Amino acid sequence: MFIILETPRLILRRFTDTDADASLIYDLNNDSEVLKYLHEPILQDVANAKEILRDIILPQYAFNFGRWATHLKINNQFIGWCGLKHRPELNEIDLGYRFKKAAWGKGYATEASAATLEYGFEILQIKTITGRAHIDNLASISVLKKIGMKYIGESIIDDCPVKTFEAYNHSLKSQ
Ligand SMILES: CC(C)(COP(=O)(O)OP(=O)(O)OC[C@H]1O[C@@H](n2cnc3c(N)ncnc32)[C@H](O)[C@@H]1OP(=O)(O)O)[C@@H](O)C(=O)NCCC(=O)NCCS
């Protein structure tokens, strides 16, 4: 297992090409409430999950970024993912997270995201990390605020009204 980081309650690791067979991504993306503020279709079958893994998630690891599978330390249960994604079309590194409903409201997103920011700055030496959430996605906005990201403003991205936040690597001289 390629572990990226650990927090008091969580382990973040790289997905592998066998995770789609285990249906982890399918289970996560097969819930309309999880996708409520994300313009993504509900997955129809495990084949779609395999495509997401192969075409979107795994290629990011070539650049050391990635959405990392997140497990509870206490029982190794998969609860979702958190991590960084290079978005060249926006010229930014995006912080993202998505957890199964059963894991909401326990502070896991905040814990995973704070550790991800630290990893991005200290290990990957990223200068600026961006976080975006639909204007009505109050839980996600709350997470971005709680981890200390700075509110930049509201805009329309991919036809969605979003709030944008940024965090800066103060150990690097220029932004
Ligand atoms: C967004 C998401 C990751 C949050 O996960 P989580 O583990 O519940 O987050 P946390 O428990 O760390 O923090 C959530 C905070 O939002 C608050 N919150 C949750 N729902 C809220 C709501 N409807 N209105 C206001 N605040 C809300 C919680 O009270 C908590 O804040 P607190 O710790 O100050 O009480 C989770 O809801 C999720 O996976 N949603 C679906 C995918 C998604 O939208 N991802 C983000 C895309 S930008």
pLDDT value at residue 22: 76
Q: Is residue 56 part of a domain?
A: yes
Closest ligand 1 atom, CA of 133? Answer: 48
Q: Is residue 118 part of a domain?
A: yes
Q: Is residue 93 part of a domain?
A: yes
Closest ligand 1 atom, CA of 106? Answer: 11
What's the CA-to-centroid distance between 29 and ligand 1, angstroms?
17
Q: What is the CATH number of the domain that holds 136?
A: 3.40.630.30
Q: Is residue 175 part of a domain?
A: no
Domain count, the chain: 1
Find where tokens 């690891």 sit.
61
> Atom 12 in ligand 1: which residue has the minimum CA distance?
107
Q: Is residue 173 part of a domain?
A: no
Q: Is residue 131 part of a domain?
A: yes
Q: Is residue 141 part of a domain?
A: yes
Q: For residue range 31-69, what is the model confidence (pLDDT) as tens digits? A: 999 999 998 888 888 888 889 999 999 999 998 889 999
Residue among 30, 142, 158, 162 whose CB has most ligand 1 atoms within 8 A, to mutate: 142
Any atom of ligand 1 within 6 Å of the Cβ of 31:
no
Most confident of 14-23, 37-46, 110-119: 110-119
Which domain range does residue 11 map to?
3-168
The confidence band for 1, taking pLDDT boundaries of 50, 70 and 90, is confident
Strand order in the sheet with 92-99: 3-6, 10-13, 66-72, 78-87, 92-99, 128-134, 160-168, 150-157
Q: Is residue 134 part of a domain?
A: yes
pTM summary value: 0.95
C-alpha angle with apex 58: 118 to 84, nearest 5 degrees?
Answer: 25
